[in-house]
Each structure stands twice: as structure tokens, then as C-alpha cells.
């Protein structure tokens, strides 16, 4: 299966104009190599129990997270391999190939998010459009939806840090509906009780924001939280909308209340994160990384939490060095392939050339 070239082109947008140290609150790419090989083994153990490598996305979709999150997992596998001492190439290949295949099956028109995140089929999009109870859009509500997305996104960045942001925040589309464009924002888990005390969590678990736009051109760059406007105005272009929290439609006043609650929770959790020392952050980051596969691991009858061996690997250990350069802004795909280790991973692990 050859996918790494398309992956390089799709994932480059994650790092274009960015640096490694921009990710917070820990330099993840110099952390994963300490323990990620053990997590790869745990994943493969679960995959074997579920016979997942011989099943389709449709058979496994209830155990997997959103497309953006699966892309983020591939994004981490490569630098984790680069930092692993004596890595098992076959194991890294199996995990990377599995998630690449899941993406090709669930988003066949743009599996690695070069410009979009087409998670739904044309038939599903038409059904969503017909089933949603739409309200009329206007500039005021468009700005309010912007504040809601910002508030929810801020809380997600607290709950999951930059580690697994894409587990808690995705965007699907853009989809064409006649002469208009549908964009769906999805916040599937605002209540990770395994990670945080309840007083840091939202009162709702899931939030979906539907927007129908006219004369607005959207682009999704690999992951849903990197959704941008290419042309037009989302303020004047919003024609219809719906906000659904835990399956219930929200009124405008309900949206106002939710904005305040999510903003307050985000501020509270950031204050808590800032109190944590280096060892606490490492433990939290490992737990967050493992949490994203909780459903998959649990279905296989395995504990999703870090194993004792994984925890022992990081206790009182400094971060690795020299895997990815600090302060380096990658300006083109070819440079990205080299610096981020994609060429090496393709050759050593996938037996491919890019």
C-alpha cells in the first residue's frame, strides 16, 4: 500500500510556517521516542484481538475517532519512530498502514486532508441537510457562532492540549448543497472524565455546529481545527445554521450560556495546567495520548491506560534531543519530507521512495 507521498502533501500544512516548539505544553516530538514503541505494541495487541487489520472502516468505525484524529496519529508515528532506540520497523509499519487505510476508506476523496475533510458520502450529506432543523442566519448569529467555536476550541486545547486536540475538535466538508456550502464543526468529547476532575469539564459531552454558506469558499488543512476561509465572508455568507448539544437544538440564549460556560471552563483548566511541573506534564501527555484509543483498546479487552513499563520509561527522564530542529520553519514539501524524516520513514519502514 503506497500512501506516504499523498500524506506528505496533505500533512505539510500542519508545519508550514510553524516550528516544533509552537506545540504546547511539552515538546511532544522529543517525548514520544521515550515510550511510543510500547504503545505501538499495545495497539497491535488490540488490533490482533479485534482482527482489525483484516476489517474495513465500516466494520470498525464505532471504535475509531474522527478523521483528523487519525491523521494526527500518523503525524506522531513518524517522529516517534525516529526517536525510538532499535525500533521494530514492522510494528511501526503495521500501525501506520492501518490508520492510512482507515483514512482512505472513510475519506476516499481526500484521505489526508490536502484541502478538505470529506467524511460523509454525497447521500449522507443530503440526508443531513434534510434532517437538520435549520434557522435563518445573519451577521449577528455568524459572529456568535464564531465565539462559540472559539470557546469550545479553547476548552478542547485545555482538555487535550496540543497532544490530541484533534480527538476533541474536527470539521467536515466543505460539502456542496446546490449553490451553497455546508460546513460541520464537531466537538465529540467535552467530558473526558478519565483525564480531568468534573469541575473542569463542560456540562455537555458533544457539540455540533452546522453552517450553510453562500459565496464562501472554505479549506480544511489536514485537521479540522485548521479550517480557513479562502474566499468570501463567513459573516455575511451564513444563510442557515443549527447548533446541537447532546442531541438537542440550542436557542440563541442557549448558545450565549454555552459560550460563557465553555470560556469559564477553559480559563479554569489553563490555570490548572500552568501549575503542573515537568514530571506531571509528561504523565498527563502520555495519558491524553492513550485516551484517544480508549474505545478501540476496551473493545479488545485491554486497559487503554499507559502500562507500567510505559510509565517507567518517562519517570525522571529528560526529553530527547536532535530529532527535529528547533526554530526551523519549513517552507516547502520537499524540505518537510527531509527534515521531518518522512523520506527516512518511507524508505526504512514502508520500503517506499518519496
Per-residue pLDDT tens for 107-128? Answer: 999 999 999 999 999 999 999 9
Q: What is the pLDDT of residues 94-108, one digit of tens each?
A: 999 999 999 999 999
What pLDDT score does 104 carry? 98
Give pLDDT, residue 331. Answer: 84
pLDDT band at residue 28 under the 50/70/90 scheme: confident
pLDDT, one tens digit per residue, over 126-164 is 999 999 999 999 999 999 999 999 999 999 999 999 889
Q: Structural domain boundaries of the chain?
A: 4-114+278-348, 122-274
d(CA 340, CA 71): 15
b (16+ CB within 10 A) / e for 152-181:
bbbbbbbbbbbbbbbbbbbbbbbbebeebb
CA distance 73 to 143: 32
User: For 223-263, what is each residue's pLDDT tens digit?
Assistant: 999 999 999 999 999 999 999 999 999 999 999 999 999 99
Q: Which residues contact 29 (CB under 8 A, 6 or more apart)?
A: 20, 23, 76, 79, 83, 323, 324
* Short-list 171, 154, 153, 203, CA closest to 66: 171
List, in order, residues 6 or more apart from 122 with CB less than 8 Å away.
none
As a whole number, the mean pLDDT across the chain is 95
* φ, ψ at 248 (rounded to 5°): -115, 140
Task: Say which residue, 16 or 90, is predicted with more confidence.
Answer: 90
- Looking at residue 271, its pLDDT comes to 96
Q: What is the CB-side half-sphere exposure of residue 287 using CA atoms within 13 A? A: 13
Distance in angstroms (rounded) separating the CA atoms of residues 192 and 169: 13
Query: Percent of the chain beyond pLDDT 70?
Result: 97
Report pTM. Answer: 0.95
User: What is the pLDDT at residue 22?
Assistant: 63
10-19, 143-152, 190-199, range with the lowest pLDDT: 10-19
CA dihedral sign, ordered 9, 13, 19, 24? negative
Residue 24 confidence (pLDDT): 64
Report whether pLDDT(325) > 90: no
Any idea which of 44-48, 120-124, 332-336 has the lowest mean pLDDT?
A: 332-336
Distance of alpha carbon 87 from alpha carbon 72, whole angstroms? 20
pLDDT at 330: 80
Q: CA-CA distance, 41 to 249, in Å (whole number)?
A: 42
Q: Where are the beta strands (DSSP E) in the chain?
A: 135-136, 170-177, 180-187, 207-214, 217-220, 227-231, 238-245, 248-249
Amino acid at each position: 500500500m503506497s500512501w506516504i507521498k499523498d500524506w506528505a502533501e496533505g500533512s505539510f500544512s500542519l508545519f508550514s510556517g510553524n516550528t516544533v516548539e509552537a506545540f504546547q505544553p511539552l515538546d511532544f516530538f522529543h517525548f514520544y521516542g521515550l515510550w511510543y514503541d510500547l504503545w505501538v505494541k499495545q495497539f497491535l495487541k488490540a488490533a490482533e484481538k479485534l482482527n482489525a487489520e483484516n476489517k474495513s472502516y465500516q466494520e470498525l468505525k464505532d471504535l475509531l475517532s474522527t478523521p483528523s484524529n487519525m491523521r494526527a496519529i500518523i503525524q506522531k508515528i513518524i517522529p516517534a519512530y525516529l526517536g525510538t532506540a532499535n525500533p521494530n520497523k514492522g510494528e511501526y509499519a503495521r500501525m501506520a498502514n492501518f490508520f492510512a487505510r482507515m483514512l482512505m476508506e472513510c475519506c476516499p476523496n481526500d484521505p489526508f486532508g490536502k484541502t478538505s475533510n470529506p467524511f460523509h458520502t454525497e447521500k449522507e450529506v443530503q440526508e443531513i441537510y434534510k434532517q437538520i432543523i435549520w434557522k435563518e442566519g445573519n451577521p449577528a448569529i455568524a459572529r456568535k457562532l464564531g465565539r462559540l467555536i472559539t470557546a469550545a476550541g479553547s476548552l478542547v486545547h485545555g482538555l487535550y492540549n496540543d497532544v490530541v486536540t484533534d480527538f476533541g475538535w474536527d470539521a467536515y466538508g466543505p460539502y456542496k448543497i446546490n449553490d451553497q456550502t455546508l460546513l460541520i464543526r464537531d466537538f465529540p468529547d467535552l467530558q473526558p472524565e478519565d483525564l480531568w476532575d468534573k469541575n473542569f469539564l463542560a456540562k455537555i459531552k458533544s457539540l455540533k455546529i452546522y453552517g450553510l454558506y453562500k459565496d464562501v469558499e472554505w479549506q480544511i488543512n489536514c485537521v479540522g481545527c485548521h479550517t480557513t476561509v479562502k474566499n468570501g465572508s463567513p459573516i455575511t455568507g451564513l444563510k442557515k445554521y443549527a447548533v446541537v448539544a447532546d442531541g438537542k437544538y440550542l436557542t440563541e440564549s442557549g448558545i450565549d450560556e454555552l459560550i460563557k460556560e465553555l470560556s469559564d471552563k477553559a480559563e479554569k483548566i489553563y490555570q490548572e495546567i500552568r501549575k503542573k511541573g515537568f514530571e506531571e506534564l509528561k504523565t498527563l501527555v502520555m495519558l491524553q495520548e492513550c485516551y484517544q484509543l480508549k474505545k478501540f483498546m476496551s473493545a479488545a479487552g485491554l486497559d487503554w491506560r499507559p502500562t507500567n513499563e510505559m510509565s517507567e520509561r518517562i519517570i525522571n527522564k529528560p526529553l530527547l534531543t536532535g530529532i527535529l530542529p528547533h526554530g526551523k520553519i519549513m517552507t516547502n514539501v520537499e524540505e518537510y519530507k527531509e527534515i521531518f524524516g518522512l523520506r527516512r520513514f518511507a524508505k526504512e519502514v514502508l520500503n517506499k521512495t518519496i
